[in-house]
Structure 1
Amino acid sequence: MDPRQLFSFCALALLASVLAGCVSNDACYEPATPTESLRSVYVVKRAWHTGIAVAAADWPNREWSVLRDFPDSSYLEFGWGDARYYQAEQETWWMAVRAALFSTSSSIHVIGFDHPAAEPLLADEVVEVRVTAEGLQRLAESIEREFTQEQPTANGASLEVTPQPNKFYSARRRFYFPRMCNWWTAKRLEDANCPIAAWSVISPNRMIREARSFAGAP
């Protein structure tokens, strides 16, 4: 990475930190939207990482092959990260730096589970966000486009991130600072018509504050 790129990244990180307190008070749908037409998605936070979960029964594309990989799961959580760091048995600071600056490939981690709650998912927090059916369609399509192939590359059970069934898949997008896992989660919500500027999201705390603002919006 040349000095100009590094300077640009640092400037963007500084700007994002300035904007970190500027969360929206708007919902992801118009006030007149009928409540019964809304669908729930969930932002899941674990330490420095966030992902997004959707009820399997609500997934618009019923023919998507990934659904068949989790036949007994009521919900699917999707997270994205550097392939080497994400799938490591033991993460290190050097691996984190290498992922942020010198990543060569990325992975999507899919976790199947039954209840959207923090304790069974070994998560710090789970926030429910309501979106329209159209927003869910856009979110689901954006997730499907992130896969380079729909066959799992590895079984994640040995990583002990969660006791739930989980698998890794090759991802299309390049992982680099500041476009990392929390930006990816924010981008999915942005695709679902939520009022969030994904480019400004770097930290998991910022992502979870945004999710809370959507959840609490009238």
Structure 2
Amino acid sequence: MRKSIQRLGIVILSLSAFLTIGYFTPRKWGNYSQADCTISLYISNQGIHTEIIVPVKNEYFDWNQFLPLREIGRDANYDYKYLSLGWGDRAFMLETPTSGSINPVTAFKALFLLTPSTLHVQSYRVVPQNIETKCVKISGKNYLMLVNFIKNSFQLDAAGKKMKISYGYGNSDSFYEAKGSYYILRTCNDWTAEALQKAEVNTPLWSTLSSAIIFHLNSGCEGHK
């Protein structure tokens, strides 16, 4: 019995050490600066979940052409400047507007079963000030790589259209069908990290925790944090 407890302790300590190293270890080392960093992105940390905030329109891409703003929320005023996009477990995201309303059963299923996913799309007139955000600057070329990753995360119907599941928590957001299954080895924050990697933004080796992503965020542009 004592040996079993000791072995379990060793496994727990080894796993903790491995995850700690992954948390603090970046995927890129040294100088990996991008050229022509003209696009600002914002990554929001909502406690346990991250989302990517992009400009609605710039010289490289117009999100209104891909995802009409009038279809996103109930708000009749469509003068939005930013979109926040995040991927995650469908049941968990639809049922959990705040971290204080987590259903333990839903959370367990999300972590340990292969569950359907969703994309949450939130419209903003300004970058939100009531949640933690961190800005990174990237090149136009890498921005298009990120845009394509996000676009390809939407599940389309036979006619090639996005499929809305429902309106969201307020008047300016909605949930859409997404590709892929959610489980403990591919979480909402792993999706964010994958998107940022497409844009050559540094991310941690272990990206399951939202704080790990925020810790490593750097635009890759000289002098910009």
Using the size of structure 2 for normalisation, the TM-score is: 0.76
Using the size of structure 1 for normalisation, the TM-score is: 0.78
- Give the conservation status (yes or no) of the 8 Å contact 1:27–1:217: no
Report the equivalent of 1:151: 163
Residue 208 (structure 1) shift: 0.7
> What does the per-residue CA deviation read over 1:149-171, in whole Å, with 9 as the maximum and x for residues that have no partner?
313210013xxxxx561000000
Runs of 4 or more above 6 Å deviation? 25-28
Residue 117 (structure 1) shift: 3.1
Q: Does 1:21 align with 2:24?
A: yes
- Give the conservation status (yes or no) of the 8 Å contact 1:42–1:52: yes
Q: Which amino acid aligns with 2:61?
A: P
Report the equivalent of 2:71: 69
Query: Where do 5+ consecutive residues of structure 1 fail to align?
Result: 1-10, 158-162
Distance 1:179 1:17, change over 3 A: farther
**Number of equivalent positions:** 194
Q: Which amino acid aligns with 2:71?
A: D
Report the equivalent of 1:113: 124
Between 133-142 and 97-106, report the one with greater CA deviation: 97-106
Q: Does 1:136 align with 2:148?
A: no
Residue 94 (structure 1) shift: 2.1
Q: Does 1:202 align with 2:208?
A: yes
Report the equivalent of 2:108: 97
Distance 1:136 1:216, change over 3 A: closer
Q: Which amino acid aligns with 1:19?
A: G
RMSD of the TM alignment (CA)? Answer: 2.7
Q: Does 1:55 align with 2:66?
A: no
Q: Does 1:191 align with 2:198?
A: yes
Residue 194 (structure 1) shift: 1.6
Q: Please give the secondary structure, in 2, of the residue aligned with 1:112.
A: strand
> What does the per-residue CA deviation read over 1:107-132, in whole Å, with 9 as the maximum and x for residues that have no partner?
0000000111332xxx2x11011010
Q: Please give the secondary structure, in 1, of the residue aligned with 2:126.
A: coil
- Separation in structure 1 between the aligned mates of residue 154 and residue 15 of structure 2, nearest angstrom: 27
- Separation in structure 2 between the aligned mates of residue 43 and residue 98 of structure 1, nearest angstrom: 26
Q: Give 1 or 2: higher helix fraction.
A: 1
Distance 1:170 1:177, change over 3 A: same
Q: Which amino acid aligns with 2:140?
A: A
Report the equivalent of 1:214: 219
Report the equivalent of 1:83: 90
- Separation in structure 2 between the aligned mates of residue 13 and residue 179 of structure 1, nearest angstrom: 19
Distance 1:14 1:174, change over 3 A: farther
Distance 1:26 1:155, change over 3 A: farther
Distance 1:105 1:178, change over 3 A: same
- Separation in structure 2 between the aligned mates of residue 147 and residue 64 of structure 1, nearest angstrom: 11
**Which has the larger Rg?**
2
Distance 1:18 1:144, change over 3 A: same
